[in-house]
Structure 1
């Protein structure tokens, strides 16, 4: 579709795709299916200039009921992007090999082609929900992993933490190490361990809890969890790292945004999942409208 006059993206789509409902059009944006001049765009107010081209990417529709709660957000010949539910392992461990995102998606791929395989690119903790990417070829996996820092444009999480975080924004820099019992902890000595950098912004707060948008500059094991504990605001439901309260019945951590350069086309792909409704349980209902996720 060619833009005939200057404006913004959502009104243009609502006019051009008039047979679709407003929610469906907004869903196309949310799931990274809209491209402007060959770049994926998700912002509703993205400015359009006369002469630009707007394209819609196809998206495979697979019911999450068929995949044990896993929702496929995007799939092509190279990558598979999913929304992983909380409580599901990314890949197998010594004690659990069957009920994992990797196994579920492997079975899904083999239903289409017995020779198909998928490959782990990165992981989410079992109790963390949200956006996760798999490769469909080993060469793609290696390309993504070897250049992960350059490939990833943005990784953002939503976190519900204990207590009222006073600073509106902040950056946590620390050095992480792992104990013999596989618990991550912060070294008191600078340079001793893996450097971890986390940026956060308070989106909403009450007397008991705060809702944060968290962006990772580095990606260390349990980084957000151990660093939030270090500033006295552990993630709710995280008794492993100091939490006392469990208002959600799950870990209050959700991988909300993953943006990356496509391994073959180099186009920027951005995926942002819906706000977990369960997180709102810790805030009063009449404050729901004030909880906004800033792009």
Structure 2
């Protein structure tokens, strides 16, 4: 899965003032990724507000992204949930043509045991026609995938990697150490993406990279090449914006930044709300100074 080493971005779903999906803005966002060094696109993840899109809207979003991308970058699609049977059925019945892999989040709300998480992903692995990237994000799921569980799941031929977003560098390093050499340990946390990559990780699935695409993807390239000084120089240049975009929730923060770049509006769907004026002003100041 060499095509998934580097910087992937979790695409937003832009909305207009009426709350309708803005397909023209989505096309602009995709072009921005392709033209500024991003390596692959992640479709219908958390950042894409997939949980508040209807089935029809999801299909329309996929179609718009496919047309805008025009096979220029590999694409990964989010297929996950907390009902194993529903996820399995979706994998068996969905048209996944044009996608390189699926990204499947560990079940939220149910809080399964490690054995439950293993059995869930065993079923996902057996049902998926595409390679599977696991997704560990305890801040959203309320349960952490242990290193041992990830190592067990890495034994399945089509479980090719994990998006590791526990924010725990030690845990990430153990995953890198104990999984097979070709298993991709991908950072799901922008702030430690550089450190994880330098430690032997496979890059990042990023949120901030969607806005600061060229420098963030260059940072990861430097890290993959072992160019420590160059990679950290870019990391520290970008770091303040990472804190800011997550300060009042994702994707409200990144949408504000994309709005300042003229790519899409800052509209989100309830229960999410837009960031406040103070944070919005700080993000504008950051990007104005960054670009000059």
TM range (shorter): under 0.3
TM-score (norm 2): 0.25
TM-score, structure 1 normalization: 0.25
| Higher RCO structure, 1 or 2 (CA under 8 Å, sep 6+) | 2
Q: Which has the higher strand share?
A: 1
Greater Cα radius of gyration, structure 1 or 2: 1
Give the structure with the larger helix fraction. Answer: 2
